[in-house]
Amino acid sequence: MASGHFQVEAALLMLPLVMLVLNSGGGSAAGAVVPAVIVFGDSTVDTGNNNHIGTTLRSDFPPYGRDMPGGARATGRFGNGRLPPDFISEALGLPPLVPAYLDPAYGIGDFARGVCFASAGTGVDNATAGVLSVIPLWKEVEYYKEYQLRLRAYAGAERARAIVRGALHVVSIGTNDFLENYYMLGTGRFAEYTVAEFSDFLVAGARRFLSEIHRLGARRVTFAGLAAIGCLPLERAENMIHGGGCIEEYNRVAREYNAKVEAMLGGLRAELPDLRLAYVPVYDTMLDLVTNPAKFGLENVEEGCCATGRFEMGFMCNDEAPMTCADADKFLFWDAFHPTQKVNRIMANHTIDICYQQGLL
């Protein structure tokens, strides 16, 4: 009986992806509608850029990638398999993996159909990227400019412009600004700003970023809000003195930040009417997963699958770590910070639904 329930649940999770391909008329037609997926942000969407820079924040080793399609491969994705942009790309009739821009295994022919500039550990605040020496958001934009020059040389000016304008730009960033930067105290931002002022600072930075990529040609953009960051296993572990529950202060900050982001996006839409800009309410989706796990076939929403699941991520989540779970599909989190491939598919489905509802697709 349980097995049947999970099969039905899996089928339901796939529906938005299937419907998108059907409505687009199959792979070739979908590719014509959305020629590429272009990705900015942090580890939630980094498909391997950190493998190629001088940082300790990497995941190019087992058991990361153990459930990748075609067999275990640690690609630098922070999870047991694919990330949301990969699922979105596949649903649009594009390749099932979005290549990292710094990966020398790929060239401009690949990037013409999808490219990722994201870097695990980065944030809207430049100071966030400095904590673990990763790619700051401004540098992701510089790579985007360089990419467009290469694209023009490869496809011609007119086709390159059409690819960029038609592409779905996926942006997921912000968690590290709070958890790695503001609350870790190392950058000094906590002394410069109240948390509300810091939120305003970040929202203003996000607005400048979105205005800049619009100036460079982006016309279809999804922008993810913060998840319920107080419910990440790492934060629950820090809250053990109070029973290991979610840290409500962090969740409240996420909700307040998200409200400001939504307001900012509304203002930007009014200012730039040719920009189709969708807000993705990741907080609501995550809260649903945490409070209604059985609905999604999940059994553990408090700990990660890797090792003890309480604090391990990056180098602490490795092949020698004991206790790693056998079936990551039963878990919300893969390590103490990042979702499992199953949850990434759910997030991708919701993003696609929102794109339909708001006219991006």
**What is the pTM (predicted TM-score) of this model?**
0.90
Q: What confidence score (pLDDT) does residue 242 get?
A: 63
SS3 344: helix
Nearest to 263 by CA among 204, 198, 343: 204
Polymer length in residues for the chain: 361
Q: How far is CA 291 from CA 24, 122, 217, 353, in A?
A: 34, 29, 40, 21
Outline where DSSP puts E strands in the chain.
Answer: 37-41, 114-116, 168-172, 220-224, 276-280, 300-304, 331-333
Q: What is the CATH number of domain 37-281+344-358?
A: 3.40.50
Tell me, yes or no, if 335 is annotated catalytic: yes
Per-residue pLDDT of the chain (361 residues; tens, 9 = 90+): 333 433 333 444 444 444 443 333 333 333 348 999 999 999 999 999 999 999 999 999 999 999 999 999 999 999 999 999 999 999 999 999 999 999 999 999 999 999 999 999 999 999 999 999 999 999 999 999 999 999 999 999 999 999 999 999 999 999 999 999 999 988 999 999 999 999 999 999 999 999 999 999 999 999 999 999 999 999 998 877 666 789 999 999 999 999 999 999 999 999 999 999 999 999 999 999 999 999 999 999 999 999 998 888 999 999 888 899 999 999 999 999 999 999 999 999 999 999 999 999 9
Rounded Cα distance between 164 and 159, Å, is 9
Outline where DSSP puts E strands in 250-295.
Answer: 276-280
Q: What confidence score (pLDDT) does residue 267 get?
A: 98
Rounded Cα distance between 359 and 15, Å, is 19
Which residue in 24, 42, 43, 103 is the catalytic one? 43
Q: What confidence score (pLDDT) does residue 46 get?
A: 98
Which residue in 24, 119, 199, 338 is the catalytic one? 338
CB burial string 161-197: b at 16+ within 10 A, e below: eebbebbbbbbbbbbbbbbbbbbeeebebeeeeebee
Q: What confidence score (pLDDT) does residue 322 get?
A: 86
Tell me, yes or no, if 242 is annotated catalytic: no
Q: What confidence score (pLDDT) does residue 241 get?
A: 67
Tell me, yes or no, if 43 is annotated catalytic: yes
- What H or E segment, with its residue span, contains residue 11? helix 2-24
Which residue in 42, 214, 335, 350 is the catalytic one? 335
Q: What confidence score (pLDDT) does residue 33 get?
A: 87
